[in-house]
Structure 1
Amino acid sequence: MERHEDDLVRLSWLSAVGLEGERLGVGILDALTGSHTIRRFDLPVPTMLPAVLRQLLLPVMWDALGLPRSRTQWAERMARGAFSDAEKEKISDYLESRYADRFRIFSERPFAQVAGLTALNGRTKTSALLVPSTASGNNVPLFSALSEADHLDLSPAHAVLWLLHAHCWDTAAIKTGAVGDEQAKSGKTTGNPTGPLGQFGVIAPTGSTLYETLLLNTPYWPDGLPDNDRPQWAWDERPASSGAKSPATPSWSVRPAAGLLDLCTFQSRRIRLVPTRTEQGVRVRQVVVCAGDRLTTWSEYELHTAWNHTAKPKAGQPARRPRRHTSGRAAWQGLGALLSLSVPAEGDGPYTSALLRQISDLQADECLPPGFPLGVETCGLEYGNQSAVVENAIADSLPLPVASLLADDDWLRRAVLECVDQADRVAKALDSLLSDLRRAAGGAPLPRDKGERPSARLLHTVDDRMRRLLAGLRTIGDDYDMLEQAQQAWEITLHRAARQEADALMAAVPPRAVIGRTEKINGKEVVFRSGKAAGAFYARLNEILPRVSETAALGGETA
């Protein structure tokens, strides 16, 4: 096979969008050295972005250039807006001289794979095994266009993307036993966890260019990277005393993470892509996927998740655990956790990712301008049936006012969280109105996990306005009057949307709801009538939205 056909350094296998919206095809070298000319990647699924960043681009950058040792060094890199000529030369030397042979797809030492990996039963499986949205084995999506008997032809570019995705997000449970894996029993290995990113909700800060995104996902550490911390393609440089198995062999280890490079690139599976010559060129139709490394400790290095802190954990349980995203909730509904900059002083609670805490420190030292176009990409997978199948994918992107991450001067953060809390409380008030109206009509409240709720419709209605609000607050500076106007406009938006939902609910109730009925609740008789329910709802609405209610009291326009 010609080198250019499988050379990830030079092959244009990553689809990207330029600053003017133009479509680009780049390899690893061009993606990094030209990162200031790239706005974002155009990837098949949102969960692929953290896989490409963590498994590839960030480790190459960190290993080639080293981490910034201080805020000043970090700020100098960000201020340049692009890699310097000297840095580009280091990256080029790293990829084209030092490790050129480690970034080929089908070579004697294939990238992120095990050459010659063979299942104990001698069989290969369809490449659909790498793609959660297609049918394979236990994973049978409801609307898959393919069955397990069909071929899924992956180009080398797409095969590598799904290879990285599998290392990060693969399902758990039983994996095929590999020849040479002494831990395989009866042709299989059991007890495999999901891929590392499947164990938490991913939070990745983004900027206006790929270069900014790379820097925002780079920590500054005074001591740099540990000496024994190596990426998977340089595993042979680790001290022999580490006792861990090489990711280029079928054997695997249960071990702690050696550092940031190891954590981001460790091979949670042993995989081989099987190339086939077709009329369209080289394609990957078959793969071998076996058990890979399992990390016992990793949280001290993890950058891309928020945490739940437990003040008094149970015996043997850690004081903090990674948070997962909730299906059906927009990212802005979880801003309370994203903007929690420190461990709760008392009791249990969330606190945000190491990278967002770092951005808070950088903003406090004016290393980032107040109007910096910070964004946040969130994603996760929901697994079912012992984590052996993928049930749902969660993904969202969010503009975030960088000033809301200031720890000392938290006026903007409090305002943002107030807006989020108001939406949540109005949504709950609508659901309470629905329950009261159903009782007034002679029915019962909807079960918690069934039925369509007005709260969901409300939050969907105001979703776009919330995102516009957050984007606008990125450039608000210290203008308190503008902030007050923005909050006033947000309350009007909520009030209008809530009133429309309430009017629709009232119009749907039968006439008997006017008379209502009496129920015994906790030993007391409670009367439920439609008029009483509406009155309670609007009183609650005025309490939640004080600016609107005050304007109405003064005779102003509220809707």
Structure 2
Amino acid sequence: MGADGDIVHDSLLTAVDTDGAVRTTGLLGVLTGAHEVRRLELPVPTMLPALLRQLLLPVMWDAIGVPRTRGEWAERFERGRFSDADVACLTDYLGSRYGDRFRLFDDKRPFAQVAGLEALNGETKSAAQLVPSIASGNNVPLFSSLTEGDELLLSAGQALLWLLHTQCWDTAAIKTGAVGDPQAKNGKTTGNPTGPLGQLGVVVPTGRTLYETLMLNTPFLPDGLDPADRPQWAWNERSSGWKSPAGPEWSSRPAGGLLDLLTFQARRIRLVPCETEQGLYVQRVIVCAGDRLAQTPELEPHTAWSHIAKPKAGQPQRRPRRHTSGRSAWQGLSTLLALAVPDEGDGPYTSGLLRQLADLHAEGFLPADYPLGVEICGLEYGNQSAVVENAIGDSLPLPVASLLAEDDWLRAAILECVGQADQAGRALDNLHSDLRRASGGEPVPWDKGQHPSSRLLHGLDGTMRRLLTGLRTVGENDELLERAQLAWEQSVRAVAVREAETLLAAAPPRAVVGRVEKSNGKEIVYRSGKAVGLFHKKLAGILTRLSEDSSGGGEAAA
């Protein structure tokens, strides 16, 4: 590796090829060989959108342009790789045109950094400040293997990834004041929001190769990209009067377009490399306040939305929708498959990229059996968003046919299956509460402790993923879909009955006799037998395809 950390040619990125081979390569090699790359080897799920947005997608779009029609998009997608002309454009873009701006340790223009950035107190901090899972400052993860007193050495490749991650996901609150920043006071800058992705529930469609993933994340724009819209490394070509991301000053401002949005510099950073026996590593960093995104624009491609029918004055009608901690991606399918704005009232509205894929499928440009995947990720912040409390990451196979807005039979079937699991979970939680009352106790509060519904949903996780994978090829076979839903109901009942039997076995003998409680002037009897009977009645009402014959139900549960 060269002393300047050349992102274009040095082996800073790790790729897993379609044949399973693992190799390291530079940015140009990753892009020109994207059709041979299955995925990029990344340390955490939140790294994928950071790398796509801050590096891969804007380079691709700015070098070869975005498709202007669905047909052009489909032509590129079906080709499965960059054409010779595209490769020439990428090579020129990362060569004579902008190649000198993709160097991590360049003295004059380091990539995604500020050359010569200095803290007002003259200090630097540990490179751990870039890694949320390692203790640093107020951010003290429970299971961090390092303390703040330990020094962390990041290779150039690791430093590149965590640099991009920090621009997207950094915590909020107080940041080090930079020399030359007139808004810094008393050695610090306050009121910083999280990085732009920290305010979203990120949704990234994925394909069979990196090339397909890049295309699935590329919108078609009839007018193309706005000529005034430039990525951060071409900030000097912008016509606006915004502060340069290559300097210590910053501003609160809107996004100037897709390229600006994806490469938004939410922090001013400088990596401080050092020579070690193993080569050049990053040991110290400076992280200061950066630009603040005034509002997430509706052109944001990687989030679902909450549509608000009657927003308050000055508030947008759509706001980014965050993921819920502790829920698998399939439990949020009602949001991912919300292809139309709610007719009445508030509700979810899926991401622009998934809506685009729905249109492409409707016009025959994306086959129904295409193995589309969706990756979701997010960070949960605590204590004024100054610390990271939890990371969310999951992937999901998604049948393309379920994205059809006009013909919603498959989508309705999938959402029915999700709803059945949720209702069965609530029935289990009610059983648990009734058994506790029958035993002389009180129900577990909904927001405390572990509930039986969590174990049920965990037990059904693999079954749901197999179901979604199978539904990719169901076509218009109604009989096959009906059999799949019946098999799903059998799985739900088997897991639910098993969990119910576990709860019943744990109940003390006095639960058989039970107790009487008064509520609103009425006496309510709680007994274990009555609770179990009510549970099975509710379960039968949820799983309507299963035979109501008790002997048949026993066989299905077995």
TM category (shorter chain) comes to: over 0.9
> Could you tell me how far 1:22 is from its partner in structure 2?
1.2
Any gaps of 5 or more consecutive residues in structure 2? none
- Alignment correspondent of 2:164: 164
Residue 504 of structure 2 corresponds to residue 506 of structure 1: yes
1:31 aligns with 2:30: yes
Aligned pairs (5 A) from 1:147-186? 147-186=147-186
Residue 88 of structure 1 aligns with which residue? 87
What residue in structure 1 maps to residue 76 of structure 2? 77
Question: Following superposition of structure 1 onto structure 2, how do residues 331-350 of structure 1 map, counting pairs within 5 Å?
Answer: 331-350=329-348
Q: CA RMSD in A?
A: 1.2
Q: What SS does the corresponding residue of 2:268 show, helix, strand or coil?
A: strand
> Mapping of 1:51-200 within 5 angstroms?
51-107=50-106, 108-200=108-200
For residues 347 and 16 of structure 1, the distance between their equivalents in structure 2, rounded to whole angstroms, comes to 45
Alpha-carbon shift at residue 81 of structure 1 (Å)? 0.6
Contact 1:203 1:305 in 2 (8 A): yes
Structure 1's unaligned 5+ residue stretches are none
SS at match of 1:258: coil
Distance across 1 between alignment mates of 2:548 and 2:528: 26
1:308 and 1:321 in contact (8 A); partners too? yes
Letter in 2 for 1:526: I
> After alignment, is 330-339 or 505-514 more displaced?
505-514
Post-superposition shift, 1:451? 2.2
For residues 345 and 49 of structure 2, what CA distance do their matches in structure 1 show?
Answer: 32
Q: List aligned pairs for 1:539-554, cutoff 5 A.
A: 539-550=537-548
Residues 491-502 of structure 1 mapped to structure 2, 5 A cutoff: 491-502=489-500
In 1, Cα distance between equivalents of 2:264 and 2:439: 59
Q: How does 1:231-380 map to 2 (within 5 A)?
A: 231-239=231-239, 242-380=240-378
2:421 aligned partner: 423
Shift of the alpha carbon at 1:550? 4.4
Distance 2:147 2:514 in 1: 54
Q: In the alignment, residue 397 of structure 1 is paired with which amino acid?
A: S
AA aligned opposite 1:287 = V
CA deviation map 1:94-146 (0-9, x unaligned): 00110010000111200000000000111100000000011111111111111
Which 10-residue stretch deviates more, 447-456 or 539-548?
A: 447-456
The amino acid across from 1:471 in the alignment is: T
User: 1:558, 1:276 → 2: CA distance?
Assistant: 64
Name the TM-score, length of structure 2 as normaliser: 0.98
CA distance, structure 1, for counterparts of residue 487 and residue 295 of structure 2:
47
Partner residue of 1:383? Answer: 381
Q: State the 1:298 CA deviation.
A: 3.5
For residue 204 of structure 2, what is the aligned residue in structure 1? 204
**CA displacement 1:319-353 (0-9 Å, x = unmatched):** 11111111100000000000000110101100100
Q: Distance in 2 between matches of 1:235 and 1:428?
A: 53
Q: Distance in 2 between matches of 1:259 and 1:23?
A: 35
Which amino acid in the other structure matches residue 103 of structure 2?
Answer: R
Structure 1 residues 377 and 551: alpha-carbon distance in aligned structure 2, compared to 1, 3 A threshold: farther
Counterpart CA distance in 1 for 2:44 and 2:295 is: 29
1:20 partnered with 2:19: yes
Q: Distance in 2 between matches of 1:406 and 1:24?
A: 38
1:548 is paired with a residue of what secondary structure? coil
Read off the aligned partner of 1:162 and give its amino acid letter: W
Q: Residue 551 of structure 1 contacts residue 558 of structure 1 at CA under 8 Å; is this kept in 2?
A: no
Using a 3 Å threshold, how does the CA distance of structure 1 residues 449 and 360 change in structure 2: closer, same or farther? same
**Equivalent residue of 2:545, what SS?**
helix
Identical residues among aligned pairs (%): 68
- AA partner of residue 349 (structure 2): Y
Structure 2 match to 1:536: 534
AA aligned to 2:68 is R
Provide the C-alpha distance between the structure 2 equivalents of 1:468 and 1:555, rounded to a whole number of angstroms: 23
Distance in 2, matches of 1:327 and 1:358, equals 27
2:391 equivalent in structure 1: 393
CA contact (8 A) 1:134 1:144 kept: yes
Q: Which moved more, 1:178-187 or 1:425-434?
A: 178-187
CA distance in 2, matches of 1:41, 1:479: 36
- Aligned residue for 1:468? 466
Question: Structure 2 CA distance, aligned partners of 1:317 and 1:369?
Answer: 39
CA deviation map 1:471-495 (0-9, x unaligned)? 1111111111111111011000000
TM-score normalized by the length of structure 1: 0.98
Aligned to 1:7: 6
Once the two structures are superposed, what CA deviation does each residue of 1:193-219 show, in whole Å capped at 9, x if it has no partner? 000000011000000100110000000
Give the 3-state SS of the residue equivalent to 1:525 in structure 2.
strand
* Alpha-carbon distance in 2 for matches of 1:396, 1:463: 12
Distance (whole Å) between structure 2 residues aligned to residue 278 and residue 371 of structure 1 = 51
- Cα contact 1:254–1:294 (8 A) shared by 2: yes
Q: Quick one: structure 1 residues 552 and 511, their matched pair in 2 at CA, closer, same or farther if it must change by over 3 Å?
A: closer
Distance 2:242 2:343 in 1: 39
Aligned length: 556
Q: Do the aligned residues in 1 keep the contact of 2:272 with 2:282 (CA within 8 Å)? A: yes
Q: Distance in 2 between matches of 1:165 and 1:387?
A: 16
Q: Is contact 1:119–1:288 with CA below 8 Å preserved after alignment?
A: yes
1:65 deviates by: 0.9
